[in-house]
Structure 1
Amino acid sequence: MSNPKSEIAGHGPDVLDTSARRRSLWAACGAHAVHDGLTDVIYVLLPIWQAQFGINYTQIGMLRGAYSGVMAAFQLLASRAARHWGRERMLVGGTAIAGLAYLVAGHAGGLSVLMIALVLGGLGASTQHPLASSMITDAYEAGGGVKEALSQYNFSGDIGKTLIPGLVGLLLTVVTWRTSATLIGLLGVVSAILVGSLIPSNGMARATREKTPKAIVGKDSATGLRALLATGTLDSAVRMGFLTFLPFLLKSKGAGTAGIGLALTLLFVGGAFGKLLCGYLGVRIGMMKTVWLTESATSLLVLATVFLPLASTMALLPLLGLALNGTSSVLYGVVPELAGIGKRERAFALFYTGTIGGGALSPVLFGKLGDLTGMPTALITLAAILLLTLPLSWYVQKGLDNGGAPSPRHSG
């Protein structure tokens, strides 16, 4: 690597800045893809675990909630630990632990070991969102384009959700679920090494951050952040609740294991483009209009999946994925604008704690409701609850408008 001091005399700093930004973005996107893929492959495995271990919907919700709950609970601790150990170590170590969790799950002989594996996976996954998001924000704020970079970051997560569950769905037609779990566990460990090689050195990243004045000045809006947290938590709760029980809804309509894997792939393909499209749409038309559009569409499409036959439901899944996942991309991009100076990493950690916590609790609550009233009623309830995000987004917009920083449509 050339000497940064010698580069400053010529055109080197621009090259240095661009290289550091790209490496930070690639590292964060790679980590997001792997972590989200490892997280959402659980949806493919849940029906198999139900059959093998004889568990009910409430226990299924507990398994899914264990992973998400631990991931949410340790977000703030991961953010604090990164100050002492560094982002690179925490992000690489967390990715490796998430992979090891599936190696343990592949050898589970009962529900208790499976629960331990998922708790371990959640612990590793807790490092990814706050650290990768703040790493991208720090890398791009000086030159602009933070929201667009965060949209690409969110897009990459859905690429992982599309590829890894889809691949496992195909693998399950030729190998056992234990072999599939072992293979994706190895994928996590190898990915940790690759992510570590991509993250720019501290000196390289510092030179990029210090080159120009920061472009984002947070409004430090406590009311706006609370409304954003509530909006994100409800959005995540509905998304995770729906994703957890979609395989069982499809199974009741006659879908097999391969069909469920295909359905999730269709949903996540739509979700990937939704996160990319809605992130840019939020910059163009504003956060509130985008949220109203995506959340209303999601509520209607969830209702449609309950009542339509299997073929029609499958056809709707890409569009549902676009709306279901698109909202989160808009909400992520608002966090740096509402956070106060020096509070960004903590704001991201709080936001992800709330949203992932809501996603962890939702499968347990709606699993219980599904046991009592049936899965269709639980899904209809989810669709109704989602509409509460519409007035909440208005309060978020007020927090954005009542400060001195640029509005969403004019900033980075």
Structure 2
Amino acid sequence: MPTTIAGSDEGTLGPTDGAGAIRGSRRTRVLATIGVNHALHDGYTDLIYVLLPVWQAEFGLGYVALALVRSLYVGALASLQMPATALAHVLGARTVLVLGTLLSAGGYALAGASGGLVGLCVALALSGAGSSTQHPLASAVIARTYGTRARGPLGTYNFAGDLGKAALPALAGLLLTHADWRFVLWLAAGLGAVVAAGVATLLPREPILREEARARPQVAEPGDPTVGRTGFGLLVAVGILDNAARPAFLVYLPFLLQEKGAALTTVGVAFGLAAVGGALGKAIFGRLGDRFGVTRCVILSEAGTAAAILLVIASPLTLALAVLPVLGVMLNGTSSVLYGTVPELAPHGRVEHAFAVFYTWTLGGSALATPLLYGPLGDAVGPRWAAVAAAATAFAVVPIMLVLSPHVATKP
């Protein structure tokens, strides 16, 4: 079967074409460009965690308010996934990705220029809106570019995102000891403008509607069980709990570490350690899912997440820091397995639509759960018990995954 080249204006290339080297080079360029963009946006998302103690001190915020501030970013990111996908049908994936990156960077620039809490909240919502363009479009481009071999590249794409989570929060933690937080956000905004220029230059043009119309009849047969809605719905439920557990713990991590005697620089390093482990987890679990199956890998990562969270809570500072990379591996390992399964369970083979729905629900659940559930819990019982609730949320994935298992039993 000929393979459609995502972002190509040249039609299709057969597996024996002399253009195979060009095809490989184009795939590598697509994956590298989208990976850097993912690193920026995920770094933007986790940068907020390092700034929460700073904003708490400056604006006198409680845990509910802090969770709400973060959720303004994530909520905008989640709620605009579907509109971003629809816009890409008109303008093309590359244009929407560039505009989204510029908007996200502009939001951080505005946050740095804001004089008060209201301006900060508006700016974070704008930045989250820009980041909404990234996940569904980039994932769908990779899925189309690599076809049936997309699980590994999707794991690489997720690995790149966690490199951004490792780099930006750690760098911000270091800079915050020498500079005002507003200046740090301006630097982050400048980096976003550079990445947007790179995406505009390096990512090939991709006419989404035309390519998806060609590919759709070939993705799944009408009788294929992967087109059923039950399996995909269960996958979304797993993703919601997985995405809720992560911020539910990370929102309280700075305060748990400060209780153990950590300085702000140490908090930034801690997020870097967790993110490095997370990047490794995404790379490892994306391939473990191919070898050992989705069910085993998800159960391992979620049970490991719950155990590692409890260990961090109970440990002194040095041991807690040592556990954070392992926690990162488990905390983010699930996502690579889930993302790689979305194309396989996409109803009616509509991969791009499935990614948009998946990200909308999973990120939206995270955005709502943090301020409505875990924020009040933190105010009521403190950071320790709120983090214990995050561990329980991760472990709640296990029974749902057992129900989902028959739908992915024949799939890696």
TM-score by length of 1: 0.91
Distance in 2 between residues matched to 1:28 and 1:291, nearest whole Å: 25
Query: Match for residue 188 of structure 1?
Result: 192
Distance in 2 between residues matched to 1:102 and 1:24, nearest whole Å: 26
Distance in 2 between residues matched to 1:77 and 1:206, nearest whole Å: 18
Query: Match for residue 176 of structure 1?
Result: 180
Change (3 A) 1:208 1:223: closer
Query: Match for residue 127 of structure 2?
Result: 121
Change (3 A) 1:220 1:371: same
Cα contact 1:20–1:208 (8 A) shared by 2 = no
Distance in 2 between residues matched to 1:376 and 1:318, nearest whole Å: 19
Paired positions, count: 398
Given the alignment, which residue of 78, 87, 92 partners 2:84? 78
Given the alignment, which residue of 95, 104, 108 partners 1:102? 108
Query: Match for residue 6 of structure 2?
Result: none
Structure 1: where are the runs of 5+ without partners? 402-406
Distance in 2 between residues matched to 1:385 and 1:251, nearest whole Å: 24
Distance in 2 between residues matched to 1:341 and 1:18, nearest whole Å: 28
Distance in 1 between residues matched to 2:214 and 2:231, nearest whole Å: 29
RMSD of aligned Cα (Å):
2.4
Query: Match for residue 381 of structure 1?
Result: 389
Residues 251-276 of structure 1, C-alpha deviations (whole Å, 9 max, x = no match): 11111110001100110000000000
Q: Would you say 1:324 and 2:320 are equivalent positions?
A: no
Distance in 2 between residues matched to 1:215 and 1:71, nearest whole Å: 28
- One-letter amino acid of the structure 1 residue matched with residue 125 of structure 2: V
Q: Would you say 1:159 and 2:147 are equivalent positions?
A: no
Query: Match for residue 344 of structure 2?
Result: 337
Q: Would you say 1:286 and 2:290 are equivalent positions?
A: no
Distance in 2 between residues matched to 1:216 and 1:149, nearest whole Å: 21
What SS does the aligned partner of 2:21 have? helix
Query: Match for residue 271 of structure 1?
Result: 278
Q: Would you say 1:197 and 2:201 are equivalent positions?
A: yes
Query: C-alpha displacement at 1:283, in angstroms?
Result: 0.6
Given the alignment, which residue of 142, 147, 153 partners 2:151? 147
What SS does the aligned partner of 2:114 have? coil
Distance in 1 between residues matched to 2:396 and 2:385, nearest whole Å: 18
Q: Would you say 1:356 and 2:359 are equivalent positions?
A: no
Query: Match for residue 316 of structure 2?
Result: 309
Query: Match for residue 5 of structure 2?
Result: none
Superposition pairs of residues 8-23 of structure 1, within 5 angstroms: 12-23=18-29
- One-letter amino acid of the structure 2 residue matched with residue 333 of structure 1: G
Cα contact 1:75–1:349 (8 A) shared by 2 = yes
Distance in 2 between residues matched to 1:400 and 1:291, nearest whole Å: 12
Residues 347-372 of structure 1, C-alpha deviations (whole Å, 9 max, x = no match): 10111011111221232121111101
- One-letter amino acid of the structure 2 residue matched with residue 260 of structure 1: V
Residues 313-353 of structure 1, C-alpha deviations (whole Å, 9 max, x = no match): 11100000000010111000000000134511111011101
Distance in 1 between residues matched to 2:277 and 2:353, nearest whole Å: 30
Distance in 2 between residues matched to 1:164 and 1:95, nearest whole Å: 16
Cα contact 1:282–1:408 (8 A) shared by 2 = no
Cα contact 2:92–2:205 (8 A) shared by 1 = no
Query: Match for residue 404 of structure 1?
Result: none
Cα contact 2:277–2:326 (8 A) shared by 1 = yes
Structure 2: where are the runs of 5+ without partners? 1-8
Distance in 2 between residues matched to 1:203 and 1:84, nearest whole Å: 9
- One-letter amino acid of the structure 1 residue matched with residue 99 of structure 2: G
Identity value in percent: 42
Cα contact 1:155–1:273 (8 A) shared by 2 = yes
Distance in 2 between residues matched to 1:255 and 1:348, nearest whole Å: 39
What SS does the aligned partner of 2:347 have? coil
Residues 186-217 of structure 1, C-alpha deviations (whole Å, 9 max, x = no match): 11111111012121134899899989x96776
Change (3 A) 1:173 1:216: farther
Q: Would you say 1:367 and 2:370 are equivalent positions?
A: no
- One-letter amino acid of the structure 2 residue matched with residue 276 of structure 1: A
What SS does the aligned partner of 2:329 have? helix
